[in-house]
């Protein structure tokens, strides 16, 4: 294509297809999820962000703990339904499982900083509406995979990024974290680009945080996207500050290993078992009945 043809094509119809940025098709998130109650937790201009709540079957004799799951997708896209298996599993065991949508680049033309703010908004909204949801506001955990793990972790370690229009008297920090191959280092060249050159500002690994709720990280040792060494360093740094961080590594497992579709659910079952044990230890669910 000549320069003159390129100019004409641009004026008439934008850049030709071969030269346009390749943006994969990104369908909208579902307005509802089967089996869950849906709530709008945040509205920005015309964008409505939803969370989908899987509640234990009634009768509930007391407020229940909750785990809010944040989808993965590199802050670019992702499916809010990703953590349905984990959320419904928890609901069967008496824990409220919540799927949280948040803003991503391909749907909303946003950066990870907006996603981090949305995670804080979702946690604050769930805690403020605890009585409506039947949850205990003092036992609101956050979980997520990859970029979703990053925004969940960010809500815990950063004192910034809260939406200034929200009631700051209600905490946006989770009481517990269950993270699946989370991004902890936002300073690598590719991730720094997502953050518009401000990756260090949004990097938990490079933030001198002084508090951290009990944290479980489940990570594949063969992860090429988020190296195991990153989370190992994060947990070691946290423990050096006297903060609770537990890391379980899985030999031969790569990025996204925890999803049920990988290895016929092998890693899914192992990570769910580890999650259950962690939640049980902190009183979020009852210990399993002794089969004897």
Answer whether residue 66 shows pLDDT above 50. Answer: yes
Residues 196-226: pLDDT tens digits?
A: 999 999 999 999 999 999 999 999 999 999 9
Average pLDDT over residues 42-51: 96
Q: Which pTM does this prediction carry?
A: 0.90
Confirm whether 145 is domain-assigned.
yes
Q: What is the mean pLDDT of the chain?
A: 91
Average pLDDT over residues 43-50: 96
pLDDT at residue number 108: 95
3-state secondary structure the chain: CCHHHHHHHHHHHCCCCCCCCCCCCCCCCCCCCCCCEEEEEEEECCEEEEEEEECCCCCCCCCEEEEEEECCCCCCCCCHHHHHHHHHHHHHCCCEEEEECCCCHHHHCCCHHHHHHHHHHHHHHHHHCHHHHCEEEEEEEEEEECHHHHHHHHHHHCCCCCCCCCCCCCCCCCCEEEEECCCCCCCCHHHHHHCCCCHHHHCHHHCCCCCCCCEEEEEECCCCCCCHHHHHHHHHHHHHCCCCEEEEEECCCCCCCCCCCHHHHHHHHHHHHHHHHHHHHCCCCCCCCCCC
Residues 232-291: pLDDT tens digits?
A: 999 999 999 999 999 999 999 999 999 999 999 999 999 999 999 999 999 999 887 555
**Residues of the chain with pLDDT > 90: what percent?**
86
pLDDT at residue number 286: 86
Confirm whether 210 is domain-assigned.
yes
pLDDT at residue number 59: 75
Confirm whether 116 is domain-assigned.
yes
- Which residues constitute the domain of residue 191? 30-281
Confirm whether 117 is domain-assigned.
yes
Confirm whether 39 is domain-assigned.
yes
pLDDT at residue number 12: 31
Confirm whether 206 is domain-assigned.
yes
Number of domains within the chain:
1
CATH (domain of 133):
3.40.50.1820
Cβ atoms of 219 and 247 closer than 8 Å: yes
pLDDT at residue number 13: 34
Confirm whether 57 is domain-assigned.
yes
Confirm whether 289 is domain-assigned.
no
């Amino acid at each position: 294509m000549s320069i003159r043809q390129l100019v004409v094509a641009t004026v008439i119809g934008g850049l030709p297809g071969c030269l346009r940025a390749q943006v994969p098709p990104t369908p909208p998130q579902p307005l509802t999820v089967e089996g869950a109650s849906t709530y709008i937790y945040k509205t920005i201009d015309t964008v409505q962000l939803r969370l989908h709540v899987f509640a234990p079957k009634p009768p509930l004799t007391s407020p229940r703990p909750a785990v809010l799951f944040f989808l993965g997708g590199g802050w670019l896209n992702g499916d809010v339904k990703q953590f349905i298996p984990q959320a419904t599993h928890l609901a069967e065991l008496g824990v409220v499982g919540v799927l949280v949508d948040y803003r991503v680049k391909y749907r909303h033309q946003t950066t990870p900083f907006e996603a981090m703010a949305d995670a804080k908004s979702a946690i604050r909204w769930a805690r403020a509406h605890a009585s409506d949801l039947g949850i205990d506001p003092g036992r609101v955990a956050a979980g997520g995979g990859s970029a979703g793990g990053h925004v969940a972790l960010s809500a815990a370690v950063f004192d910034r990024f809260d939406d200034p229009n929200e009631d700051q008297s209600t905490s946006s920090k989770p009481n517990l974290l269950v993270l699946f191959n989370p991004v902890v280092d936002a300073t690598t060249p590719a991730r720094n680009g997502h953050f518009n050159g401000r990756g260090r500002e949004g990097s938990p690994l490079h933030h001198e945080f002084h508090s951290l709720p009990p944290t479980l990280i489940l990570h594949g040792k063969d992860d090429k996207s988020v190296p195991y060494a990153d989370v190992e360093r994060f947990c070691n740094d946290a423990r050096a500050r006297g903060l609770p961080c537990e890391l379980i590594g899985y030999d031969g497992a790569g990025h996204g290993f925890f999803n049920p579709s990988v290895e016929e659910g092998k890693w899914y079952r192992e990570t769910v078992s580890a999650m259950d044990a962690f939640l049980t230890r902190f009183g979020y669910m009852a210990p399993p009945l002794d089969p004897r």
